[in-house]
Copies of this chain bind each other. A is one copy, B any other.
Amino acid sequence: MVYLTRKEQFAASHRLFNPKFSDKKNFEVFGKCANPNGHGHNYELSVTIVGTPDIETGMIMDLKKLSDLLEKELLEKVDHKHLNMDVDFLREIIPTAENLAKEFWKILVPKITNGKLYSIVLAESGANIVEYRGE
């Protein structure tokens, strides 16, 4: 078994707030991330699949196909978008990195057929990183 990771980037804006909270409580809980007009990030997404390399090709999965899959299923939906307003699968979700990683997992897990999805790492910045492994 070998682990294969592909890294992609996307640029998006979001706002952290819970509509059930008062404005005051939203600022207490989410700090400057609750700014009503939102803010944004260059997100770095790393998707890892695990599998056995094919004997005839030496590859778990063609990286070009993995990259195209990520583009189609995720990046074209979130890149240069407002995550709270423009993305169907994120409606009703507070777009923290934790929740984004879990929603990305749900979308990708049925699409990975060479090998198995192992991990989704999402970095909001160089200092803030989450990982979800479907556990």
Contact = CB atoms under 8 A, between A and B. Distances in A.
A42 to B, nearest CB: 5
B2 A80 contact: no
A91 interface: no
A12 B38 CA distance: 8
A16 B126 contact: no
A8 to B, nearest CB: 7
Interface string A94-132: 111111011000000000000000000000111111111
Interface of A: 1-9, 11-14, 16, 18, 20-21, 29-33, 35, 37-42, 48, 53, 56-60, 62-64, 67, 79-82, 85-86, 93-99, 101-102, 124-133, 135
Contact of A39 (B3, B4, B12, B35): B12
A54 B59 CA distance: 39
Contact of A127 (B6, B13, B39, B131): B6
